[in-house]
Structure 1
Amino acid sequence: MRLPDSFLDELRNRLSLSQVVGRKVVWDLRKSNQAKGDWWAPCPFHQEKTASFHVDDQKGFYYCFGCQAKGNLFGFVMETENVSFMEAVELLAREAGMQMPARDPEAAVKSDRRSRLAELCEEATKWFRLQLSTRAGSEARTYLDGRGLQKQTIDRFEIGFAPGEREGLRRHLMDKGAPPEMIEAAGLATPAEDGDVRDRFLNRITFPIRDGRGRCIGFGGRAMNPNAKAKYLNSPETELFDKGANLYNLREARAAAGKGAPLLVAEGYMDVIALAQAGFEAAVAPLGTAVTERQLQLLWRVAPEPIVALDGDEAGQRAGLRVADLALPLIKAGQSLRFAILPQGQDPDDLIRAKGRDAMQAVIEGASPMISLLWQRETDGRQLDSPERRAAFDDDLRRLIRRINDPGLRRHYGDEFARLRADLLPPPVRAPRNGKGGTSRWQPPAQAMSGTRNSALASGLSPDAVLEQVALAGLVHHPRLIESFADDLERMQWSREDHSALADALLSFDPELETRDDLGARLGGDTLEAFLGLAHLRIVPATRPGADDETAAACIRDALNRLETRRGAEREREEAAEDLEAGGDEALTWRVTQAARRRDAAIRAPREETGSAAEEAAEMSKRLQDLLDTRVWEKTKRK
C-alpha cells in the first residue's frame, strides 16, 4: 500500500520528531536549545553517558555522533519499536489522532498525479517570471520598484507577472504537453463566463506559494487594475493546495527561525517580502484566509512564541483578536503568541518604507503577550460603575479563562486577570453573614493580632476548633476547592466568631479573579497570615508545599467528616443525658456510654480508601489524629 504524500506531510506537521524521540530519551536541557528545535540526549541506540544524540526538529532528522545512527520520524519508530514502515505510520497516526487512509490500489497513480500538478506549477512559475521581464510586464516592474523591492528580493521570491492575455499560460503549458484537464486541476485555468476556459491569473503580479518541502503548490496574484473585483486572488483549493494547512514563505522562515530570528506572522505577501528584505527573514503569512488551527500548529513547530504583526487599524485589531480566540484553547506552557501593534494605519511594509528597519525592530521588541490583547478587549469602553456591570465583567473573564485547556496556564491567567482587575477596580465592600443567620457589615475580628503567639486562633482550642481550622486552612491554600465545599461552609455552625468570619470571606472569594492578598485585606490587618502561621496548621497535608488539589480535598473532607461525626455523637450523648436526668434506666445509661465512645472514636476513625490510595489515606488520617491528640493535650494541660 502506498500512502499519499499529503497524509505523511500532515503526520509530520502534527507530530514533531522531538516529541516522539522524547519518550525514549532524557534531554540534556543545558545543551539543547528548544527555541531553535535543537535537542541533545544520550543515544537510545547504544550505551553512553554523554549527550551525543542530536535531533533537529526543523529538518526532521536525528543523528548520533557516537554510533552514527540517523533517520527521520518514521525511521526512529521503526528502529525503537522494531516494526515495519507501515506499522510505524499506524502507531504515529493513532498518536496524532489521524485515520489511516483506506487501502487504495490507485494510490501510486494519485501520487504521480500530484507530482505532475507540482511540475505544472513550477513551469508556470518560470513562465510568469519571464513575462515580468517583457514589455507587457513594464507596468508591474514599475509598481514593484515603487514598492521599494530590490532585484535580488524579486528573484528570491520568484515574483512574476501574468499578462492580460486570456490563454497565454494555458497555451504555453499545452505546448509543453500538459492536458487541459491537468492545467485546470492545478488551479492555473478556470471556466470563463462565456463558457470557454481562460487563465486564472490575468494582469496580476504573481507570488509562487511553496509548501514546507519547497514544492510550488499554488499562486497569489496582485491585481494591476485598481478597479479589479479582488485586489488579491489566490489559487483555488486543489489536490495540492490547501489554504488552511500552509503558510507563505514557511520553508525559508523555518530556516531563519532555526538560527534565532523571531518568527513573525504578517497579513499578506508584500508584508512578508518587505520584512524579509529588511532583514526579518523569519516571516510568514496566511494564504488569503484567516489563520487556522492547523496553521497555528505549523507556527508552534517552528517557534514557541510567534509574533503576530497587526496592522494599526481597527480591522487589524479584529484580526488579531480572532487569532487570539482561536489560540486560547491550544496554548500551554511554552506555547503561545505575542502581538506587535503597528502605528495607526500602517502595515509592516508601510512602516519599513516610511521609517526604516529600526522602527519595525522597536515594534517587534515591544510585542505584548496574548493576555494583554484579551484584557484590552474586555475593558475598552466598558463601564463598571454598578454591581451588575461588574458581575457581568467577571462572568466574561471567567468564560475566557475556562476556554484554556491547560490547567496550569488557566491558573496563571486567572492570577493575572485578578491582578489587573485589582488595579482597575477598588476592593469590594462585603457584608457576610454574622454566623447566626443574619447579616451585618463585617469588621475585622477583635482578636486579630500581629503575631501568632497572641492570636485568639492559637489559644483555647477544642478538637472541634482544630478540625474547623484544618478545613479552613486547606481552602485558603487551595481556593479552587471553595466551590466544591460551599455547602459545607454555608451550613456549618462554627465554634468561634473568627472561624465564621474566615468562612464568610472564603464564600465571597473568587479564585479566578482575586489573590490571597485580597482575601487577607478582606479580613483586615494580618489576621490571615497569623492564622496560616499557626504551627499546628503547617503540618496538615492540605497545607504542605506541593500538595495538589486532590490531596487537599481529601484532607478537608476528612476533617469535615470527623467534625460531623463528633457533633452527631455529642448531640446524642446530650439527649441521652437529659433523658437519664428525667428518670432514666439501664438502657439510657448504655446510650450515654455508647455516645461518648462514638464521640471519642470519631476523631480517630481513619478514612475508608481502597487500592493505591489506602496507604496515603492512612498516613493523612494519622497526621490529623496526631494533630488532634497534641491540641487536646495542650488544652488539658492548661486546665
Structure 2
Amino acid sequence: MRFDNRLLDEIRARLTLSDIVGRRVTWDRRKTQPGKGDYWACCPFHQEKSPSFHVDDRRNRYKCFGCGASGDHFKFLTETEGLNFPEAVERLAEQAGVALPAPDPQAAKREKKRAGLADVCEMAARFFQMEFSAPRGEHARSYALKRGFTPQTLAEFRFGYAPSTRDALKKYLAERDVPEEVMVEAGLVIKPDNGRPSYDRFRGRLMIPIQDDRGRVVAFGGRTLDPDGQPKYLNSPETPLFHKGVMLFNAHRAREPAYKAGRAIVVEGYLDAIALAQAGIPYVVSTLGTAFTEDQVLRLWRFAPEPVVCFDGDAAGTAAAHRVVDRIFPVLKSGYSFQFCFLPDGMDPDDLVQKEGVPGFEAQVSSSQTLFNVVWDREVSVAQLDTPERKAALEKRFDDLIDTIRDPRVKRRYQLDLKFRLSNLFFEQARKGRGGRQQGAGRGERPTITGPAPSPDTPLFGTERLICGLSVKYPQFLDRHLERISALRFSDPVHQRFCDTLCALVNGLEETPVATVVDGLDETSRQLMAEVIQREGPSSDGAVSRHGAFSALAQRFPLLKVDPPEDFVEAAFLHFLDVLELKTLEQELEREMEAAETELDEASWHRMQAITQDLSRRREECARDEGELAERAKKLRSAPPSAPPVDAPAIQAG
C-alpha cells in the first residue's frame, strides 16, 4: 500500500519521535535538553560507551554520529522491530489515532486473491496433518519421532504427510469446491502442458508448512521418505503468496525472541531450525533451499545486527558460506554484519544438539568467525604468494570484492583493514624468504628474524614505539587521526620513517599496491615491523587480529592481553599522541626562549606566552586523561576472573 505524504506528516506531528525512541534507549542527562527537543543517548544500533545518538524532535529525525544510522519514526520501527514499512505505518497510525485510507480497488482485489490462496494453503495444511495422524502416515510419524521431535513440536510446527497416491490432495480440495486453477496457482497441484490430468506436487513426503510474518500458511516444504527419492527436499514454487528469495522459515516465531536477545541464528534446513527451536533456541530461522538473497540479508538485520550463519563444517558447508559472503558484501552497512559458525565435519545443528545439548551448540556458536575473517581465509587459503604477480592478483581479488560495498564508510574500513592485513602477510612472506636465504633455514623450519629493532635512548622512545605498534594493530585509529599522526615529530628517525610509511599507505589507500609499500621498507623498518607483529606461536596467514598476534606489543602495553574495549585502547592511543605533542611543544618553547636570549621582540614574546598557556592547558588535560584511563584500567584488570593476569601499569609506555 502507498501512503500519502500528508498522512505520514500527520502521524509524525501527533507522535513525538523522542517518545518512540525513548522506549529503547536511556537519555543522557548531561547532553539532553528536552525544552529544545534535543535528546542524546548511546546508540541502539551499535555498541558504544559515550552517547553519539541524537534525536531532534523539531526536525523529526534521529542520527548516530558513530555508525551513521539515521531516519524518522517509521524507519526507527523498521530497524528495531523488524516491521516492514506498511506495518510500521499501521502501528504508529493506531497509536496516533490517525485513520488509514481504504486500499484502492486494485490493491483490495489483489489482497482478496492472496487471502483466497492462503485459505487454500490452510486447507492443505489441515489435510496433511490429518494424513500424518492417520494409518498411512505411520512411516512419516516414525521418521519424525526418530529425528527426536516431540509431540508438542509436531503439533506446534504442524507436521504433515502427503500420501503417495497421485491426487489425494487434489480430490480433497475439489470436494471443498476449490477450483483446479486455484490449486495450481497455490503451488499445490501441477498441470502438465501435454493435456494430461493434473496431479499433486507433493507425494510420499513429510510435510512442513511454511508461514509468513502473520503466521499464515503460504507454502510447504516436503522431505522425501524414500531413501532413494529425489529431490531430498522439495519446496513450493513461486506463487503470489510465496517468494523464496524473501521469506525465512520460522521468521514469525523467531522475530520477537531475536529482538529481545539481540541475536539470530540462520541454519540451512527447516528441520534443523525446528530441532534448535525444540531445544530452547527460539531465535532461529532457515533459508528455503535457495542461496541467500539481498532481501533475506536485509530481513535478517531486522532480527539482529550480526546474525550467526550456522553451516555444516564440510566442503559443501564452506562453499555455501562463501556464496553467502558474496551476497552480503554489496549491502553491508555501518553496525551490521554477519558471523559464521562452521560445525564439526559431518555434523549438522540437529546432530550437535542431540549429542552435546544446547551448551555444546552454544560453545560452537561462541567461536564463530567474523565476516572479515571468513573472506580473508577464503582468499588467502588458495593464494600463492611466491611472485609479485601472484601477490598483485590476491590484492586485486580483495579490491574487486570491496568495490561491491555500497556504504562508503564500511567500504573505507574494509579497504583499510585488508590493506594492513595484506601488508603484514606480505611482510611475513618476505621475511621468511630473507630468513631462509640468510639463515639457511631448511624446509619447514621457521626462519629467524635478522635482528631486533634498534632501541636508542631517545626521549619518549617507548611511547613512540607504542604509537607505531597500535597504528598497525588498529589501523582505524591511524585513519581517524591521520592529520594528527602525520604531523607528529618523533625523536627516533626509525619511528618517523615507519610512521610516515603507514600514513602514506592510508593516504593512497586505493592507489598504492601493498607489495610496493612492503618492498620499500628499509632494514630497520623491517626489524620494527617484525617486532610489531611478533607472534607467540607459528602462523601462516598473516592475520593481525587472531589470538597470539602482537605479543611484543602486548608486552609493552600489557592491558592488551585482556582484550580491552576498543574505545579504551583508542583513548590510550590519543593519550600517547598528547604526550608526544606536549614534548614537541616543550621543545618549541625551548627554541623560542633560546632565540629570545639574543633577540626578543614583541612577536616572539606573544608566541612564548601562547605556547606557555597552551602547554599549561594541555598538561592539565593530559594529567586528567591519564587519571581517568588509570581508573578504567584498574576496573579492566579486576573484571573477569578468567582474564590473563596483568602485572604492569596500563598506561605507562614501556
* TM-score normalised by structure 2 residue count: 0.57
Mapped contact 1:187–1:238 kept (Cα < 8 A): yes
Deviation at 1:426, TM superposition (A): 2.2
> Once the 2 structures are TM-superposed, how far is the Cα of residue 507 of structure 1 from its aligned partner?
7.7
- Which residue identity lines up with residue 368 of structure 1 in the other structure? Q
Q: CA deviation at 1:181?
A: 1.5
Work out the CA distance in 2 between the residues paired with 1:297 and 1:375: 23
Amino acid across the alignment from 1:333: S
Q: Distance in 2 between matches of 1:203 and 1:453?
A: 77
1:215-267 CA-to-partner distances (Å, cap 9, x unmatched) read 11110111112232311111111111111111100010112212316311111
Give the distance between the partners of 1:78 and 1:162, measured in 2 at CA: 42
Change (3 A) 1:505 1:211: closer
- SS for the counterpart of 2:165 is coil
In 1: Cα distance, 2:479 partner to 2:372 partner: 30
Cα distance in 1 for residues equivalent to 2:167 and 2:505? 74
When residues 259 and 527 of structure 1 are mapped into structure 2, their CA distance, relative to the original with a 3 A threshold, is closer
Q: 1:592 corresponds to which residue? A: none
Question: Any idea what SS the aligned residue of 1:161 has?
Answer: strand
Q: Show the 5 A alignment for 1:38-187.
A: 57-58=80-81, 60=83, 72-74=88-90, 76=92, 85=100, 105-187=105-187
Q: Which amino acid aligns with 2:200?
A: D
SS of 2:291's equivalent?
Answer: coil
**Match in the other structure for 1:240:** 241
Question: Kindly, what percent of the aligned residue pairs are identical?
Answer: 32
Native 8 Å contact 1:452 1:533 kept in 2: no
CA distance in structure 2 between the aligned counterparts of 1:289 and 1:190, rounded to whole angstroms: 21
**What is the one-letter code of the residue matched to 1:382?**
A
- Asked if 1:421 is matched to 2:422, the reply is yes
Map 1:421-500; keep pairs closer than 5 Å.
Answer: 421-426=422-427, 477=482
1:288 corresponding residue in structure 2:
289
Q: Write the deviation string for residues 473-504 of structure 1: whole angstroms up to 9, x where unpaired.
A: 999926999xxxxxxxxxxxxxxxx99x9699
Q: 1:60 to 1:365 in 2, by over 3 A?
A: same
Q: Tell me the C-alpha RMSD between the 2 structures.
A: 5.0
Task: Report if aligned partners of 1:261, 1:280 keep a CA contact under 8 Å in 2.
Answer: no
Task: Mark the runs of 5 or more structure 1 residues left unpaired by the alignment.
Answer: 9-16, 46-52, 63-70, 90-102, 431-447, 455-472, 482-497, 539-625, 631-639
Which amino acid is 1:218 matched to?
Answer: A
Residues 366 and 274 of structure 1: CA distance in aligned 2, closer, same or farther (over 3 Å): same
In structure 2, the gaps of 5 or more residues are 4-11, 28-41, 47-52, 59-72, 432-454, 462-477, 487-495, 530-575, 586-606, 612-654
Query: Distance between the aligned counterparts of 2:506 and 2:127, measured in 1?
Result: 70
For the 8 Å contact 2:82–2:299, the answer to whether it is kept is no
Between the aligned partners of 2:263 and 2:480, the Cα distance in structure 1 is 43
**CA offsets 1:52-91 (integer angstroms, 9 cap, x no match):** x9969437599xxxxxxxx9424647998x99846xx9xx
Read off the aligned partner of 2:331 and give its amino acid letter.
L
How has the CA–CA distance of structure 1 residues 451 and 519 changed in structure 2, closer, same or farther, with 3 Å as cutoff? farther
SS of equivalent residue, structure 1 residue 243 = coil
- Match of 1:183, as an amino acid? M
Q: What secondary structure sits across from 1:262 in the alignment? A: coil
Q: Which amino acid aligns with 1:142?
A: S
Please give the alpha-carbon distance, in whole angstroms, between the structure 2 residues aligned to 1:26 and 1:154. Answer: 39
> Shift of the alpha carbon at 1:505?
8.9
Secondary structure of the 2:178 match is coil
1:259 partner SS: helix
Mapped to 2, the partners of 1:43 and 1:426 lie a distance apart of: 49
Contact 1:505 1:519 in 2 (8 A): no
Cα distance, 1:518 vs structure 2: 7.9
Q: 3-state SS of the aligned residue for 2:427?
A: coil
Per-residue deviation at 1:521?
6.8
Q: 1:151 to 1:78 in 2, by over 3 A?
A: closer
Q: How many positions carry a matched residue from both structures?
A: 442
Opposite residue 283 of structure 1, the aligned amino acid is V
In 2, Cα distance between the equivalents of 1:316 and 1:214?
30
Tell me the secondary structure at the aligned position of residue 385 of structure 1.
Answer: coil
Distance 1:141 1:348 in 2: 21
Relative distance call for 1:475 and 1:363 in structure 2 (3 A) is closer
Over alpha carbons, which structure has the higher Rg?
A: 1
Tell me, yes or no, if structure 1 residue 306 matches structure 2 residue 307: yes
SS at match of 2:81: coil
Counterparts of 1:126 and 1:171 in 2: how far apart (Å)? 14
Distance change >3 Å, CA 343–CA 59, structure 1 → 2: closer
Is 1:403 matched up with 2:404? yes
What per-residue deviation string (whole Å, max 9, x for no partner) do you get for residues 131-189 of structure 1? 01111111111111111111111111101000012121111112112122211111111
TM superposition shift of 1:275? 1.0
- The 5 Å alignment of 1:161-240 reads 161-192=161-192, 195-240=196-241
